[in-house]
């Protein structure tokens, strides 16, 4: 599965872009501020319905435009599917797949599974638990058909419960009904997450070890979001005074975390920044592998400024791993030669593009 064509209009400094892409490797070089990250942002918008740079999407729209649009032609098993996302200044969103308007961004994610590797991606190990929950959810969402529905139901019940916690008086019977459903959904979510992460771990280990031997004994365990030695319904009951006081639910899968260790120590505490990056990349490549194994499809990798993030040896290794995966890759960097040197023989279908002041043109190279 890959993007065959990409059109971008009015997104940051990209006013009017039309590209035919390689199914494998797409390299974008250009000076700082030329529009490389904006291009990845456009692809991300297409696959997620949001930006990875700002929560406020109006800043994404070109200052002289009213709307920004990303349109892509996805090719999968010989079938072309148009996907389009547009967003106007009034907050009006439009998501379309195959000409049909769709309501939820999750349908975009299903149609175009994306993995983003950028400087913030390294928060996966050192950042807050939300980064690791997002990582877990990406994986389970893409291999477990039921997960999206389960999470939607859970979010609804959590919202209801939190709203009850804000009332002065609580109807015990009503709360008991919500809590029972809450516990049931929480256990199902936890179970799917654990099965997924267990399956993922040996792949993470293998890739991490290939990239850096001392990362091979990486280990992790899942914190489900409550004290596992206790029954969740009991935990909810015991902690209810605090939940009511702070008007929110303190236990459940929305508080889950992944505890990542190296030699039994917290990875974020002992690894160097470079090692953290390699481990984070290994975990994301591993997700791509498992996704591929399970579904026969491969996701798209967006890699922002790879040369700035890793040394040359690791850059090459990462690229080789991705080439073996057969995934479509988009890599940006300032230096043209630096990017071209990443792929020696592993990529036989590669396109190079030059980004200059918001314009992008294909740049011929001799391979």
CA distance 243 to 269: 31
Q: Write the burial class of residue 338 (CB in 10 Å: 0-12 exposed, 13-18 middle, 19+ buried).
A: middle
Q: What are the backbone dihedrals phi and psi of residue 156, each rounded to the nearest 5 degrees, phi first?
A: -65, -45
CA distance 148 to 155: 11
Q: Where are the beta strands (DSSP E) in 160-253?
A: 218-223
CB of residue 34 vs ligand ADP: minimum separation in angstroms?
A: 4
Residue 13 partner contact from Mg ion, ligand ADP, none using kind-dependent CB cut-offs of 5 to 8 Å: ligand ADP
Q: Which is nearer to ligand ADP, 61 or 215 (CB)?
A: 61
CA distance 325 to 302: 14
Q: Which of 22, 26, 34, 37 binds Mg ion (CB under 5 A)?
A: 37
Number of residues that bind Mg ion (CB under 5 A): 2
Q: Which is nearer to ligand ADP, 190 or 304 (CB)?
A: 304
Q: Which is nearer to Mg ion, 141 or 353 (CB)?
A: 353
Q: What are the backbone dihedrals phi and psi of residue 353, each rounded to the nearest 5 degrees, phi first?
A: -125, 145
Binding site for ligand ADP (CB under 6 A): 12-13, 30, 32-38, 59, 61-63, 355
Q: Which is nearer to ligand ADP, 53 or 132 (CB)?
A: 53
Q: How many other β-carbons are positioned within 10 Å of the β-carbon of residue 264?
A: 7
Choices 34-42, 49-57, 182-190, 226-234 (CB under 5 A): range interacting with Mg ion: 34-42
Q: Which is nearer to ligand ADP, 63 or 100 (CB)?
A: 63
Residue 103, CB-side half-sphere exposure with 13 Å CA sphere: 0
CB of residue 62 vs ligand ADP: minimum separation in angstroms?
A: 4
118 is an interface residue for Mg ion by CB under 5 A? no
Residue 32 partner contact from Mg ion, ligand ADP, none using kind-dependent CB cut-offs of 5 to 8 Å: ligand ADP
CA distance 162 to 158: 6
CA–CA distances in Å: residue 3 to residues 67, 119, 320: 22, 24, 20
CA distance 352 to 344: 14
Choices 36-44, 182-190, 213-221, 254-262 (CB under 5 A): range interacting with Mg ion: 36-44
CB of residue 295 vs Mg ion: minimum separation in angstroms?
A: 31
Q: Which residues bind to Mg ion, rule: CB under 5 A?
A: 36-37
């Amino acid at each position: 599965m890959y993007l065959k064509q990409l059109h971008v209009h009015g997104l940051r400094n990209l006013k009017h872009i039309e590209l035919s892409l390689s199914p494998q490797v797409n390299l974008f070089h250009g000076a700082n501020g030329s529009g490389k990250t904006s291009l990845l942002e456009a692809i991300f918008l297409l696959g997620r319905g949001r930006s990875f740079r700002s929560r406020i999407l109006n800043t994404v729209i070109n200052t002289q435009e009213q709307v920004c649009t990303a349109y892509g032609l996805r090719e999968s098993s010989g079938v072309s599917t148009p996907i389009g996302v547009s967003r106007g200044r009034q907050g009006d969103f439009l998501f379309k797949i195959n000409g049909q308007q769709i309501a939820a961004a999750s349908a975009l994610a299903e149609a175009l599974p994306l993995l983003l590797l950028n400087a913030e991606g390294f928060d996966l190990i050192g950042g807050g638990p939300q980064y690791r929950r997002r990582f877990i959810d990406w994986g389970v969402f893409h291999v477990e058909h039921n997960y999206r529905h389960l999470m939607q139901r859970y979010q609804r019940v959590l919202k209801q419960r939190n709203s009850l916690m804000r009332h002065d008086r609580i109807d015990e019977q009503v709360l008991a009904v919500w809590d029972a459903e809450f516990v049931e959904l929480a256990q199902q979510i936890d179970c799917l997450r654990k099965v997924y992460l267990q399956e993922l771990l040996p792949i993470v280990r293998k890739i991490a070890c290939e990239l850096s031997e001392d990362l091979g004994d990486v280990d992790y365990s899942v914190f489900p979001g409550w004290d596992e030695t206790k029954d969740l319904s009991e935990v909810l009951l015991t902690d209810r005074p605090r939940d009511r006081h702070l008007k929110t639910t303190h236990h459940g899968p929305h508080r889950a975390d992944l505890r990542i260790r190296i030699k039994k120590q917290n990875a974020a505490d002992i690894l160097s920044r470079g090692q953290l990056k390699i481990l984070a990349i290994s975990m994301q490549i591993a997700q791509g592998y498992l996704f591929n194994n399970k579904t026969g499809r491969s996701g798209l990798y967006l890699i922002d400024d790879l040369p700035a993030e890793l040394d040359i040896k690791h850059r090459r290794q990462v690229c080789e791993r991705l080439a073996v995966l057969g995934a479509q890759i988009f890599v940006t960097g300032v230096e043209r030669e630096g990017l071209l040197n990443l792929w020696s023989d592993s990529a036989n279908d590669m396109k190079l593009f030059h980004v200059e002041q918001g314009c992008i043109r294909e740049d011929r190279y001799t391979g």
